[in-house]
Amino acid sequence: MHAQSLRAVSVTVALPDDVALTDLLPRLQPSGTWVRHGEGIIGLGVADRAAAHGSERFAELAHWWERRLESITEDPRPEQLRDVPGCGPTAFTSVTYSSDSAADSVLVLPELVLGSVAGRTWVTVIGEQSEGDLTVEAVLDRHGLGIEDGVLAPAKDAADTAPETAPETALQEGTHPVSHYLQAVEAGVQAIAERRLEKLVLGRDVVVTADAPLSAGSVLAALTREYSDCWIYRAGEVLGATPEMLVTVRGERMAARVLAGTVDGSLPTDEASVLLMEDPKQRTEHEIAVQSLLTQLAPVVEVISAQNPPTVLRLPNVYHLSTDVTGRLVKDCTDSGRVGAEPVAPRVPPALLVAERAHPTAAICGTPTATAAEFIARLEDLDRGPFTGPVGWVDGQGNADFGVALRGGILSADRRHMRLYAGCGIVAGSEPESELAETWAKLRPMLGALRAQPVG
């Protein structure tokens, strides 16, 4: 994979008022989205795109991004936006769970990024230098937006692209029938009983069909209303609402959130908390996931700490055990050591390579990782694609947010189909029917946003 030699210009304009990103979403077809509690960034259009496959997909995307940034000339940003993460040239990314996947791992550089964080609001546009003078107004206009008295809003003369009615949807079986998942869980429990592994995460898929093209913006807007505590994401064709942060990078600092251990969200809070905090199965599943992340990140961090004991995270559909992890990334000198080489200041590893170290955690694979991955390939018999892979964004300063692509699905090219995924952690004592019920609970966010009813 080679970086484009195309020269580009990046222009960022500050806006005086907060942008109601969630209000704009139904009118948009975002190429990238990362929003939580109404704040974040939304990408529109595609200025450039890279795709990678195989075991070197993280490194190839990191290299492409580094080379692409070298070809972008950024106009000076307004003072108040100079150090804001996600401002300036920013790419949305989705990396497949497995190196064997036939799906693309992607970096998408939008033509336009809308941002609103902590009261600071901006628009960044990316364009070819050959376009002449790049104006924010012209790019906004192409996407049916405009700035009126400093406020970003749909352009007065733009067609109303918000769908009047949502398409009719229907739920269909996925790659395998439900019986296949029950048998897979049973086989996984047996393997754990035989001490071949400690934990195994098994997923399944379903398909939602629509009688008209689905609006990605409307689906994302619905998720922001019902799951505001989650990170609402889109990168490439994967979109959803993830409660789990794989890793956040801010300069030398990193942070992560581990979720493992789940009970249904219909339970009273007190009852759910007791089940999660006092059930050995739930606590064991969670502790395995936390330890796996700490072990995997060890080569790229100097200092790391994990919250103890875990807390209970309440979402509309489920409760999770949750542990926050924080640390400082190790600095490494990139000088090759050759005689006469110019000294190179030590720097932290590229954010995509930090994400590679963190992926996959026991929360989405199992323990031991290599053994669990073998069982997943055999028992699931499913190409997860970007499901359970890292998803998020990376900017030109090396800042990044990578969530785990959970509670989501993949939108087809014609936008008339979405393949949704859900999975459960299998440990000693897991019961197939209970794990199946948990997958339905985890599918609830996307089924609700698509107005598709679960079966059973």
pLDDT band at 143 (very low <50, low <70, confident <90, very high): confident
**pLDDT: which is higher, 134 or 368:** 368
Write out pLDDT tens, residues 332-372. Answer: 755 444 445 455 567 889 999 999 999 998 889 998 989 99
Q: How far apart are CA 409 and CA 237, in angstroms?
A: 8
pLDDT band at 2 (very low <50, low <70, confident <90, very high): very low
The amino acid that residue 44 corresponds to is: L
In this prediction, residues 84-111 reach a mean pLDDT of 97
Q: How far apart are CA 121 and CA 378, in angstroms?
A: 48
Do residues 348 and 57 lie in contact, with contact meaning Cβ atoms separated by under 8 Å? Answer: no
The per-residue pLDDT for 365 is 93
Mean pLDDT of the chain: 90
Write out pLDDT tens, residues 315-338. Answer: 888 899 999 999 999 987 554 444
Q: Is the bond preceding residue 346 a cis peptide, omega within 30 degrees?
A: no
Which of 184, 187, 161 is closest to 44 using CA atoms?
A: 161
Which of 152, 91, 142 is closest to 121 using CA atoms?
A: 152
Do residues 358 and 391 lie in contact, with contact meaning Cβ atoms separated by under 8 Å? Answer: no
Write out pLDDT tens, residues 252-275. Answer: 999 999 988 888 888 999 999 999
The per-residue pLDDT for 196 is 96
The per-residue pLDDT for 394 is 98
Write out pLDDT tens, residues 373-399. Answer: 999 999 999 999 999 999 999 999 999
In this prediction, residues 94-106 reach a mean pLDDT of 97
pTM, rounded to two decimals:
0.91
The per-residue pLDDT for 439 is 96
Residue-range domain boundaries for the chain: 8-154, 169-230+243-449
The per-residue pLDDT for 16 is 74
Q: How far apart are CA 349 and CA 333, in angstroms?
A: 10
| pLDDT value at 3 more than 50 | no
| Backbone φ/ψ region at 309: left (φ over 0), alpha (ψ -120 to 50), beta | beta
**pLDDT: which is higher, 72 or 130:** 72
The per-residue pLDDT for 450 is 96
| pLDDT value at 425 more than 60 | yes
The per-residue pLDDT for 21 is 79
Write out pLDDT tens, residues 186-237. Answer: 999 999 999 999 999 999 999 999 999 999 999 999 999 999 999 999 999 9
The per-residue pLDDT for 324 is 93
Q: How far apart are CA 400 and CA 386, in angstroms?
A: 18
Torsion angle in degrees (nearest 10) through CA of 280, 285, 291, 293: -160
Which of 225, 161, 243 is closest to 449 using CA atoms?
A: 225
**pLDDT: which is higher, 147 or 377:** 377
The per-residue pLDDT for 339 is 46
The per-residue pLDDT for 15 is 83
In the CATH scheme, what architecture does the domain 169-230+243-449 have? 4-Layer Sandwich (3.60)
